[in-house]
Amino acid sequence: MTVKNIFETMDYGPAPESAADALAWIADQGATFGQFINGEWTRARKDFQSKNPANGETLADLSQATLDEVNAAVKAARKAQPSWQKQGGHERAKRLYAIARLMQKNSRLFAVLETLDNGKPIRESRDIDIPLVQRHFYYHAGMAQLLDNERPNVQALGVCGQIIPWNFPLLMLAWKVAPALATGNTVVLKPAEYTSLTALLFAHICNQAGVPNGVVNIVTGDGLVGEMITAHNDIDKIAFTGSTDVGRKIRKSTAGSGKSLTLELGGKSPYIVFDDADVDSAIEGLVDAIWLNQGQVCCAGSRLLVQEGIAERFHTKLKSRMDGLKLGNPLDKCIDVGAVVDPVQLQTITDMVSTNTEGETYHANVDIPREGCFYPPTLITGLESSARLMQEEIFGPVLVSTTFRTPSEAIALANNTRYGLAASVWTENINLALGIAPKLVAGVVWVNATNLFDAAAGFGGVRESGFGREGGWEGLSNYTKSKHTTKPQKKITSFGGKSGHNDQLDRTAKMYIGGKQVRPDGGYSKDIYGKSGALLGQVPIANRKDLRNAVEASQAAKGWSETTGHLRAQILYYIAENLSARRAEFASRLNELTGTSAGAREVDTAIKRIFTYAAWADKYDGLAHAVPIRGVALAMKEPVGVIGAFCPNEAPLLGLVSVMAPAIAMGNRAILIASEPFPLAATDFYQVLDTSDVPGGVVNILTGSHAQLAAPLAGHLDVDAVWSFSSDELASVIEFESAGNLKRTWVNNNAVSDWYSAAGEGHDFLEAATEIKNIWVPYGE
């Protein structure tokens, strides 16, 4: 081919990267690998093979970890963890820095090995994945150095079980291992069955970097090994990236175990193009959004929403661009789209597209290699939002598309999914872009860009895309816990007495739903007695119907989430003012209910606590992350939505206030299940809410059995989070039932909190009451 031909056709010859060094490294290990446990390698076995998806050739033989090997890895991690944490942030920083430097020195080896094992183009491994891996270890070396001073009240969780997918094998390892090690945890990591080789090379790097034995352990195998890790009783945290179906199973299997859990799951991310967008730039962005890594990306912009006026022109230009993409040997630096990871995944993609009967399917006019797992870039237009391929994750190089007319319709279409991982917005109108971004249900929003990642900016989703963040300070918090000491909770029961009338006027309490006092659907009530046996009153017993009514009222109060922090603060101050005016009355009632003399202290602390969260309402700010682009990543703190909470039994007023105030201060709506033995404090308190300008539905108060309401509240698909500080053992039920829509949970695991101390308020509550959305805004010409 001549230079003239190149300029006329823009058709370049092959530019293959040599695989010699990577293959030599595999050969040096005997092309057979065991497990990496306690700094050493176990005896290698030929249990399954790692193959090159581009040509089907076997790269190495791998060992399926046994239960004994998983137990040994966990034991080694447990033994190493205390000393690793005790070394302090500076010593951990040195080890993380050494890992980063060694990965830089071996960057080409890692890149080639990743491409051989995964099938992604070498340009992506070399220019995206490996530099980001290095960045994560450098960044978290700095985090380790700063942690002791910046977060003195937190400590490591302990042993972390980490399960990573095959689409970004080494990058997902870095996302999980770096923060875990920085915070003093030790890890047992399982790479994906298809793509284990770079994780095994990383194990060699850990030894070279002087990471103490047992701090990093790597076990290989299929999903059975993952099940062994998630079920292990001596693991304190599970971090999983993978499919939503598997994530739901993990949520159920770990329910009630006390394990911390983060899930980064599937997505069906919208790619929204307005009619004023730079069309050529939007199309180039779309190439990266959907055909990066053959579309095997959880946040791939796989749902194209294009404004109706430019749709025909946009699709025509997009098809032309698709025809120019090159498929082939992933080691060729001229290749745009490599091989799908495995024949099983290729068949899944093929079946989903071939069985689709809706819309118009266009396969790119490209040459497809005869061998290997290759699928052409594909566009399916004219789909309804309800179409199967618009709703289900394909996880391949397939883009589906529909049109919209107005910005409000674009938002509705974008949010019409069970997922909530990422979104892209393309428009030259920055006002429109920044007006749309907060309304999109997604953990990450890119403006005039796509697939921007950095260690400083947290990544993660909402809804069925999972919970928790990876990266930044928000990601680091998923690997720490408070140093506050706790003690086992004792079940608190109601006082008994003789049924009958008290000498006061009958004022049978009602529930508080939608800003109104409401009788129970079931028509049943419960007598409440004081310590002396005197009848103090009756409260309703809430059932499922009452709970549904409270959820409906909360959903109808969505406007509260859009109010300003200043307004929410004013209302909280007003609540505190009105409670203060009735201080003596509430103190007397609490003494009567609990049989103690601490009522005045509880009321005074409750008033102070409301003041605290009123102060935070307009001060719990987001961050502008310093990411390495010409632009900014804005970490916006948003309300979770509807939070259902089981209030502490032991502090009937203070506990309710300590749960309610942070929730509504951050813009959430709350469904509060009052203290079961002492509910009259809560039913008195809604009278304060009635006189404090709290909009109907923002706070709803139910009384009744915690145990009976736990499952329906946690299982309700229109509830976004459930907290439990009950003395009943509800953790297992709540976490299991929450798997339906993968809502966030915060449970006390039967440990009692000191509601009068710093443990009863502060950042833990604010973090639980907010989601972080990172909005990336590049700027400049």
How far apart CA 168 and CA 119 sit, in angstroms, is: 11
Phi, psi (deg, nearest 5) at residue 648: -60, 140
Catalytic site residue from 160, 206, 298, 299: 298
β-bridge pairing 751-752 and 487-488 = antiparallel
Vertex 769 angle, CA 763 and 775, to 5° = 95
List the one residue out of 367, 412, 484, 351 whose CA is nearest residue 763: 484
Tokens of 212: 């103490």
Distance of CA 446 to the CA centre of its chain: 18
- Angle, helices 680-690/565-581, rounded to nearest 10 degrees: 120
How far apart CA 179 and CA 654 sit, in angstroms, is: 35
List the one residue out of 155, 157, 189, 159 whose CA is nearest residue 77: 159
Phi, psi (deg, nearest 5) at residue 727: -80, -10
Catalytic site residue from 17, 114, 124, 264: 264
β-bridge pairing 154-156 and 216-218 = unpaired
Specify the residue for token string 């938002």.
411
Give me the torsion for CA of 751, 757, 758, 759, rounded to 10°. Answer: 0
User: How many C-beta atoms surround the C-beta of residue 524 within 10 A?
Assistant: 12
- Angle, helices 169-182/130-150, rounded to nearest 10 degrees: 10
Residue 361 CA: distances (Å) to CA of 15, 89, 403: 32, 54, 16
How far apart CA 706 and CA 542 sit, in angstroms, is: 10
Tokens of 272: 């929204």
DSSP H/E element including 241: strand 237-241
Contact at 8 Å (CB) between 460 and 466? Answer: yes
Contact at 8 Å (CB) between 510 and 679? Answer: no
- Helices and strands in the chain, H and E counts: 27, 34
Q: DSSP H helical segments within 358-447, as ranges? A: 388-391, 407-414, 430-436
Q: Is 470 a catalytic residue?
A: no
| Terminal-residue alpha carbon distance, the chain | 36
List the one residue out of 394, 64, 419 whose CA is nearest residue 248: 419
Residue partners of 608: CB distance under 8 A and separation at least 6:
none
DSSP H/E element including 467: strand 466-467
SS3 614: helix
List the one residue out of 314, 298, 271, 302 whose CA is nearest residue 377: 302
How far apart CA 279 and CA 119 sit, in angstroms, is: 30
Contact at 8 Å (CB) between 652 and 674? Answer: yes
How far apart CA 72 and CA 67 sit, in angstroms, is: 8
Contact at 8 Å (CB) between 502 and 536? Answer: yes
Residue partners of 419: CB distance under 8 A and separation at least 6:
244, 265, 266, 267, 268, 269, 393, 461, 463, 464, 465
Q: Is 298 a catalytic residue?
A: yes
User: Which residues are annotated as catalytic?
Assistant: 264, 298
